[in-house]
């Protein structure tokens, strides 16, 4: 089994193991969620973390930034926040008689967009260009964002008062959606013990250089995907559009997200090729948030995750000679 991705000398698994081990010094009992976060990072994508308050969403973002030695900014979204509060603003300097750009908090390598659904649609839209184009435009001037660049956005799925649901265009920009959930009783006791005197994130050290991460992100693109598996990805996405309970299925960007995420998962596991299991394991996280359930199905409490599960059961899994290079 290969541990170095094709056409590179970067051992993605070794980098991933270092990051996962360091993050799990702080985030207890959430190995699957930490791996999903790392998958998004290696794909140069963004994550939507949908969960109740107090389960470690902010801590996860801080821990990731500390482990990479990257810059970190936290955006606390509120209904009165303006787009310029996100992107920055041009201010006239009377001494130089020129406008100077004062960067907003989006100009960081890891950005936590906390309670993103509390901002108005106009302010949410300020994130669109940053997330997709890796740049912001202020007063006609384009400013490139630093590399790597990752947005971890959070929203509370329970509290809806004073919130603005994320539009489809915004949801589609998130590579993966995940939920941390409550820890087990034993893990919660471990959290109490680790934080009795000080927070473990305060003593966390950088374990991966930014240059190493950028190389790993490029190496992931070289993970081999058999033609039959590319067809499998597209067929899964296509079937979400044809499902009788679905009003709007996953977009082609959803296919690409699932494709890229499967490559990253394989690399994290030390493989230079993907398996059908990689695609099946990531289908929910990559596609469910892009699906809009029809009104009649919502009355029956059908949700997008159930649709993805049905599609996975219905679409034939390629195997045998179909997976050969």
Give the separation between CA 269 and CA 43, rounded to whole angstroms. Answer: 15
Give the count of alpha carbons within 13 A of 306, CB side only: 10
Q: Tell me: the pLDDT tens digits for 153-169?
A: 998 876 666 677 787 88
Residue-wise pLDDT tens for the chain (325 aa)?
444 444 457 899 999 999 999 999 999 889 999 999 999 999 999 999 988 888 888 899 999 999 999 999 999 998 888 888 999 888 888 888 788 888 889 999 999 999 888 888 888 888 888 888 888 888 888 889 999 999 999 988 766 666 777 878 888 889 999 998 888 999 889 989 888 888 888 888 999 999 999 999 999 999 999 999 999 999 999 999 999 998 989 999 999 999 999 999 999 999 999 999 999 999 999 999 999 998 888 888 888 999 999 999 999 998 766 666 5
Write down the pLDDT at residue 298.
85
Give the separation between CA 100 and CA 228, rounded to whole angstroms. Answer: 52
Cβ neighbors of 234 (< 8 A, separation 6 or more) are 255
Q: Tell me: the pLDDT tens digits for 75-118?
A: 999 888 888 899 988 888 888 878 888 888 999 999 999 988 88
Q: Domains in the chain and their CATH numbers? A: 10-222 (3.40.50.300), 223-318 (1.10.8.80)
């Amino acid at each position: 089994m290969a541990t170095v991705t094709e056409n590179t000398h970067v051992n993605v698994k070794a980098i991933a193991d270092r990051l996962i081990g360091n993050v799990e010094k702080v985030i207890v009992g959430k190995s699957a969620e930490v791996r999903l976060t790392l998958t998004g990072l290696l794909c140069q994508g963004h994550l939507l973390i949908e969960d109740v308050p107090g389960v470690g969403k902010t801590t996860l973002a801080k821990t990731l930034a500390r482990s990479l030695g990257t810059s970190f900014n936290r955006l606390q979204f509120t209904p009165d926040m303006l787009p310029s509060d996100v992107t920055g603003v041009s201010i006239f300097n009377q001494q130089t008689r020129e406008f100077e750009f004062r960067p907003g908090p989006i100009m960081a390598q890891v950005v936590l967009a906390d309670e993103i659904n509390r901002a108005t649609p106009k302010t949410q839209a300020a994130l669109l260009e940053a997330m997709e184009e890796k740049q912001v435009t202020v007063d006609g001037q384009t400013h490139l964002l630093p590399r790597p660049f990752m947005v971890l956005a959070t929203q509370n799925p329970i509290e809806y008062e004073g919130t603005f649901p994320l539009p489809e265009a915004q949801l589609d920009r998130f590579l993966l959606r995940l939920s941390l959930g409550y820890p087990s009783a034993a893990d919660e006791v471990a959290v109490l013990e680790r934080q009795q005197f000080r927070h473990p994130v305060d003593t966390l050290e950088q374990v991966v250089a930014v240059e190493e991460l950028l190389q790993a992100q490029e190496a992931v693109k070289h993970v081999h995907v058999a033609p039959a598996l590319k067809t499998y990805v597209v067929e899964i996405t296509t079937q979400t559009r044809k499902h009788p309970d679905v009003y709007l299925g996953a977009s082609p960007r959803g296919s690409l997200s699932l494709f890229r995420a499967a490559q990253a998962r394989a690399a994290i596991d030390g493989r230079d090729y993907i398996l059908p299991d990689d695609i099946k394991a990531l289908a929910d996280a990559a596609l469910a948030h892009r699906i809009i359930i029809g009104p009649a199905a919502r009355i029956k409490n059908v949700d997008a995750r159930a649709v993805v599960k049905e599609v996975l059961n219905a679409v034939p899994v390629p195997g045998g000679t179909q997976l050969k290079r």
